[in-house]
Structure 1
Amino acid sequence: MLKRVQHDGRVVTDFTRVAAIDWSGAKGRRHKGIAIAACGPGDAPPELIAPGHVWSRREVLDWLRERAADSERWLIGMDFSFAPPRMVRGCYLPGEDVPGDARGFWAYVDAKCADDDLGAASFLEEHHRRHFYFGAADGKKADFMHFRQCELAFNAKGGGKASTVYDAIGAAQVAKASFAGMRLLHHLGDALAVWPFDEGPPGQSMLVEIYCRAFIRMGGARGLKLRTMDDLNAVLARLGSAPAAGAAYSDHETDVLAAAAGLRQIAADPLYWQPKDMGPEIARTEGWTFGVD
């Protein structure tokens, strides 16, 4: 069993399976950037779910609903920001009449978007264009660099350079994926508890926000990409996992294989369930990336 433990040492949930999902905000109905890996307890190697399949976002939503209904108790990490920054400016979109809590904001994003397959490009490009950086015509990029408290903590501790959901340019941007993810969270409803916004009853499967490549660093790799099976299996070994099967994987696939093993390794550590800088207001409005202490 993988035990979720509160800071006082009490077991809240026993997880029997762990999964990691690399997400995509790309336009269209099928997305090569989506990948899912899962593993059981112990050192069982993580395995891809539906290898070779090109997922839609709605298929991922259906897969999550199925996990909520089955007999296993899942801890599932998804790689996107579950909410925008709010603490630094007091509002997700200053000057706009938008909800002030995460669940209300997820519903707001969904109501604004008619994009295919839970996409949210129109939210950035049409409905709230002035809040997002798309290029030099928008002004200084630094004026859009607003971060959540967990991202500030991640950056301050040398975890890397976290992105902001207001930066909508470049290959590293997370904006469109994050707002598409907020639509998914709204449609998911209460089928799964979403940490840290929900406590969730004991025994319920749970969804957490992750940063896949932080687990690659946790596994001792210097770069952000695992280019060979030897690289992947060296990271998995440091994350307490047996080697992965197979001959070659894409970057998205190695990301989720490493993240599933890493999430399993830290799931029982109270440190990550009760980050010292995450108070109730942050938990209600911004959330937190699981794995940032």
Structure 2
Amino acid sequence: MNARADPPAHFRRFAAIDWSGARGQRHRGIAVAVAQAGDAAPVPVPPPGGCWSRQAVLDWVLLHADAPMLIGFDFSFSAPFLDRAAHLPGEPFTEDAPALWRWVDRNSTDADLGAAGFVDARRGLHVYGGAADGQKAQFLRYRRCETAIAATGRSRPSSIFDAVGAAQVAKASFAGMRLLDRLRGIVPVWPIDPIPAAGALIVEIYPALAVRAAGLGRGKLRSAAVLDQALAAMGSAPHAPLARYDDHSTDALLTAAWLRANAARPPLWSPAGLTREIAQTEGWIFGVE
């Protein structure tokens, strides 16, 4: 699996989607940005009705399924598997990431592709939601791509089973799996599916990689000047002023530019630690070499 692969050459648009697992129908935590091939600044995609829903994002991706677009989503595409030979030990066995997506979707009843109920029902079993659940460390399982990032010393992604705090990714990731299940067979997902010769492809992104690549460490992009500085590091022209500089919008803009700047790098399509088993069961974060 980690043999050298030629990067796909047909992409002309690069989209980054800052995702949300919040309850409800509309989510200010979702932002979509697109960069065209070249060096023009990425632009935000206006949400229908003034605020994105997860269903609206799904509809947008379906609308662009045949477009030459690389689409990055900021959530974990799977749960750890290799450490315990199961995603959710004790529940019906899911042999690969798509089987996990089906299981999550079939067992979630939240509105707008949400998965908060799925996560809450597993507190103390798989998910850490607070001190009443026991020792936090026993819940913190990680995928191989996440341990690869941690090994660099530059960042440590959150565990999908840690549901505490504003930085938690549990509800967003399981909600994202519901979306991926709805896209199965329509838009391929790397590295689970073969890279297509035409049309869209979905990858998992980690905006912290783009922020670090821009030379900002763990900095936040909360001003026009800092955002333009980061975009310039990606070879991008300055952006058009935004109505509001929040982490969701700026992360999406920068990561779209980062995808454009890095999509042709062969090492990112053939990471040293990526095996076929890892690809099928846990997925991989695009950008982790």
The answer to whether TM tops 0.5 is yes
Which of 248, 251, 270 aligns to 1:255? It is 251
* Aligned with residue 57 of structure 2, among 54, 57, 60: 60
Within the alignment, does 1:225 sit opposite 2:220 as a pair? yes
Is the contact made by 1:219 and 1:235 (CA closer than 8 Å) also made in structure 2? yes
Distance of 1:161 and 1:180 partners within structure 2: 22
Kindly indicate whether residue 56 of structure 2 is the aligned counterpart of residue 46 of structure 1: no
CA distance in 2 between counterparts of 1:40 and 1:201 reads: 19
Equivalent pair of 2:4/2:270 in contact (CA under 8 Å): no
1:7–1:273 CA contact under 8 A, matched in 2 = no
Task: Give the secondary structure class of the aligned counterpart of 1:39.
Answer: strand
Where 2:65 maps in the other structure, the secondary structure is helix
In the alignment, which of 270, 273, 279 is matched to residue 274 of structure 1? 270
CA distance in 1, matches of 2:91, 2:219: 37
Aligned pair in 2 of structure 1 residues 168, 89: CA closer, same or farther (>3 Å)? Answer: same
Matching residue's letter, 1:60: V
CA deviation map 1:207-264 (0-9, x unaligned)? 0000112201111113341121111100100111111111542110000011000111
The amino acid that maps onto 2:40 is A
Distance 1:159 1:32 in 2: 29
1:15 equivalent to 2:11? Answer yes
Shift of 1:7: 5.8
C-alpha distance after superposition, 1:30-68 (max 9, x if no partner): 000000000111211000000693100000000000010
How many residues were matched structurally?
A: 286
Distance 1:224 1:139 in 2: 33
Aligned-residue offset at 1:12: 3.8
1:3 corresponds in structure 2 to none
2:112 aligns to what SS in structure 1? helix
Take 2:71 and 2:7, find their aligned partners in 1: how far apart are those partners? 18
What is the CA–CA distance in structure 1 between the aligned matches of 2:6 and 2:138, rounded to whole Å? 44
The runs of at least 4 aligned residues of structure 1 exceeding 6 Å deviation read none
Percent identity of equivalent pairs: 49
Deviates more, 1:178-187 or 1:8-17: 8-17
**In the aligned structure 1, how far is the partner of 2:219 from the partner of 2:46?**
24
* 2:286 corresponds to which of 261, 267, 290: 290
For residues 35 and 57 of structure 1, the distance between their equivalents in structure 2, rounded to whole angstroms, comes to 11
Matched, 1:192 2:187: yes
Contact (CA 8 Å) 2:110, 2:117: kept in 1 or not? yes
Matched, 1:239 2:234: yes
Alignment partner of 1:118 is 2:116 = no
Question: Following the alignment from structure 1 to structure 2, what is the Cα–Cα distance between the partners of residues 104 and 251?
Answer: 32
| Distance in 2, Cα, partners of 1:240 & 1:196 | 27
How far apart in 2 are the matches of 1:197 and 1:102?
8
Instruction: Find the counterpart in structure 1 of residue 210 from structure 2.
Output: 215
Secondary structure of 1:281 counterpart:
helix
C-alpha distance after superposition, 1:249-283 (max 9, x if no partner): 21100000110001111100010001110100000
Q: Distance in 1 between matches of 2:191 and 2:50?
A: 31
* Aligned AA (1:250): D
Change (3 A) 1:138 1:8: closer
Give the TM-score normalised by the residue count of structure 2.
Answer: 0.95
Letter in 1 for 2:14: V
Note the C-alpha offset of 1:99. 1.1
Match of 1:206 in 2: 201
CA RMSD in angstroms, aligned pairs only: 1.6
